[in-house]
Structure 1
Amino acid sequence: MVVWLPRLQAPADPLVEQASEAVEAPPLTPAQAALDRAISRIGGTFDGHVGIAVRDLAARRTLHFNGLEQFPQQSVSKLWVALTALDEVDAGRLDLGEMVRIRPGDLTVFHQPIRDIVRRDGSFSADYAELVERAITQSDNTANDRILRRVGGPAAVQDFLDTHGLSSIRFGTDERSKQSAIAGLEWRQDYAQGPAFFEARDEVSPAVRRSAFEAYLADPLDGAPPVAVVGALAKLHRGELLSPGSTSLLLGTLARTRSGPQRLKAGAPEDWTVRHKTGTGQFYDGEQSGYNDIGLITSPAGRTYAIAVMIARTREPTPVRMEMMQEVVRAVVRYDEALPAVAPDAG
């Protein structure tokens, strides 16, 4: 449960780094031991399969519950698309001011506020800066997939992750392909209109739906270990993934996230800063898949923690899921309050 992740030179993967260092982990401090117990209690008493990871960026200590397993990300993966796009900006291959027109053929599935504009006006024009804003803060699937196409598709995002020592994080594929596969369907563009996707999904036989749902959860194509996710957030925070300007832009965007206000964010005191990205998967036969929130929370004193709470599957109602996530944040706040006053660290 306890993982010591010191800063190494260009680690190949957070899991490799964790495995090689765990045997030499120093003893937990009393505050760390209390947080470790809290994480274990929260994860162990939740009725569902959950992974939790918390990284104290100053202490460079990561604690986790089921944190090495692959959990479905769902829209958490939009963070990796945004990172890849901003890496393209840093390399001079993309200008965020570049304009793009979204047409009916670009629409996707599920949450996509852009669709209402396209329905009304026939198309929607925006620059890539606005699409990044919409993809992160509103979790707009169409905005995300249009950025994904511009940066080179799923392979380009996975290459970004692999290049930055995050290869245990699987990007997966675009929203249309992913959500169709989980539902036991093959994508058709007319599914992007109105209730067509839901109607088609309802026509899929229970055996096919169950098989597709279970196959996704058994080996999620967009899987990520919570330990790797908090490792990525730590790298982002300390400026190892992007230029200073792009790092600041993305952290600011994450602070404006509108989705999931009752998940991690609701557990933090008002004077804490929360920068986060949610993910929500499909619901089938009473079970929710891929219900997540990951992010960076910062105390008024400037001490920052990376948190990932990822639920693979559960039958618990939404308020119970949200309360569990809030309790993780409250445990981190209690841990922070037990620490001596020290200068913040970007580690």
Structure 2
Amino acid sequence: MSIVPLFFGLLLKSQALDVQLIRGRVQALEAGLRHGSIGVAVTDLRTGESWAYHGDSRFPMQSVFKLPLGIAVLDAVDRREHSLDTRIMVGWQHLSVPMSVINDRFSGHARPYSVAELLELAVGVSDNTAADLLLSMMGGPQKVTARLKRMGINGIRVDRFERQLQVENVGLPGFNPELTSEGGFLKALSRVPGDRAEAAMKKYLADPRDTATPNGMVDLLAGLQRGRFLSPASRERLLRIMTASTTGPNRLKAGLPKGSTLAHKTGTGREILGICGAINDVGIATLPGGRKLAIAVFLSGTSGTKTTRERIIANVARAVTDSTGRI
């Protein structure tokens, strides 16, 4: 009898996730929260082993939604329903809420952006105007969610444009051109009565719209890495954008061992009366030995500083990689 199959079986067994280690650390992190909750899911893309904490609960995505949006756009490109070379004229009437490089660069005159440029801006730097333009091109948020379901992507809902979502969840009465700059947005926000802002935050945290489950997001990440959803060229394009992204350096990336790479998408809500609706990071980590892990971490309704929240996400990533023996 050959010992080779036995050797590889033992090797895979030795590389299994130490779920007790992860669970203990995640529970300790959640116990340290004064407010809010944490959702985690991880899949070892080598062995297929998965683990989750509040994995089927819904968490606000914030800009994490731009990753499934990017997948939907590239699926449409693969099916020749749209082209990356199509140019869309962007004028003042198309500007959404910050953060937006397009808004910051706007000089008062319409200029064209290709679909490829909008994809880079939406997924790579989290540009809200780019995301809203892509949502419009795709027929709106509900059409994107329906496409994702047809692709076998579940547990993820895209329901609102950024110019609607980001206004509603802080208690502003509606979108207007003042809200296209950070200064204008903050000025308008300062005029929202505290009780209205508090009520808006509570409603947002209970709203199933624009949410994802950790399990659903990790399934999306695993499927993307394994080539389930997109053509090889589209898959590589999206993973390149995600890997080049410089957002959230103190989140998942900060918890990975030196020499790792991360293809990821962050999401961050505004802090209202000391509570942050969402601060998230989801991605595919490649460890120095080549092992790949799909990780999703969502924090919802938490108090404390941004530094503290980001450190929690980094510590989850550290727990996950420690559980593998970093092989």
TM-score (norm 2): 0.89
User: Percent sequence identity over matched residues?
Assistant: 33
Aligned residues of 1:267 and 1:329 also touching (Cα < 8 A): yes
Amino acid at match of 1:170: R
Closer, same or farther in 2 for the Cα pair 1:338/1:87, shift >3 Å? closer
Out of 178, 183, 189, the position equivalent to 1:195 is 183
Uncovered stretches (5+) of structure 2, i.e. residues with no partner: 1-14
What's the offset of the Cα at 1:154?
0.5
Q: Output the CA distance in 1 between the equivalents of 2:19 and 2:193.
A: 49
Out of 288, 308, 315, the position equivalent to 2:276 is 288
Out of 215, 218, 223, the position equivalent to 2:203 is 215
Amino acid at match of 1:309: V
The CA deviation string for residues 147-171 of structure 1, in whole angstroms up to 9 with x for no partner, is 1111111022101221133332111
Q: Output the CA distance in 2 between the equivalents of 1:53 and 1:39.
A: 11
Aligned residues of 1:114 and 1:124 also touching (Cα < 8 A): no
| Other structure's SS at 1:337 match | coil
Match of 1:53 in 2: 41
Out of 121, 136, 139, the position equivalent to 1:149 is 136
Q: Output the CA distance in 2 between the equivalents of 1:183 and 1:301.
A: 44
| Other structure's SS at 2:294 match | strand
TM-score (norm 1): 0.84
Match of 2:12 in 1: none
Match of 2:158 in 1: 171
The question of 1:237 aligning with 2:202 is answered no
Out of 276, 279, 287, the position equivalent to 1:299 is 287
Out of 128, 139, 147, the position equivalent to 1:160 is 147
The question of 1:137 aligning with 2:124 is answered yes
Closer, same or farther in 2 for the Cα pair 1:324/1:30, shift >3 Å? closer
| Other structure's SS at 2:222 match | helix
Q: Output the CA distance in 2 between the equivalents of 1:189 and 1:250.
A: 31
Match of 1:25 in 2: none
RMSD over equivalenced CA pairs, Å = 1.9
Out of 52, 72, 75, the position equivalent to 1:84 is 72
| Other structure's SS at 1:297 match | strand
Closer, same or farther in 2 for the Cα pair 1:157/1:294, shift >3 Å? same
Match of 1:258 in 2: 246
1:89-100 pair list within 5 angstroms: 89-100=77-88
The question of 1:319 aligning with 2:282 is answered no
Aligned residues of 2:17 and 2:323 also touching (Cα < 8 A): no
| Other structure's SS at 1:145 match | helix
The CA deviation string for residues 238-264 of structure 1, in whole angstroms up to 9 with x for no partner, is 111111111111111100111111111
| Other structure's SS at 2:88 match | strand
| Other structure's SS at 2:324 match | helix
Out of 90, 101, 105, the position equivalent to 1:117 is 105
What's the offset of the Cα at 1:130?
1.1
Which is further off, 264-273 or 30-39?
A: 30-39
Uncovered stretches (5+) of structure 1, i.e. residues with no partner: 1-27, 340-347
Closer, same or farther in 2 for the Cα pair 1:42/1:60, shift >3 Å? farther
Amino acid at match of 1:232: L
| Other structure's SS at 1:291 match | strand
The CA deviation string for residues 190-240 of structure 1, in whole angstroms up to 9 with x for no partner, is 422463333333223322222111011012421111111111111111111
Amino acid at match of 1:61: E
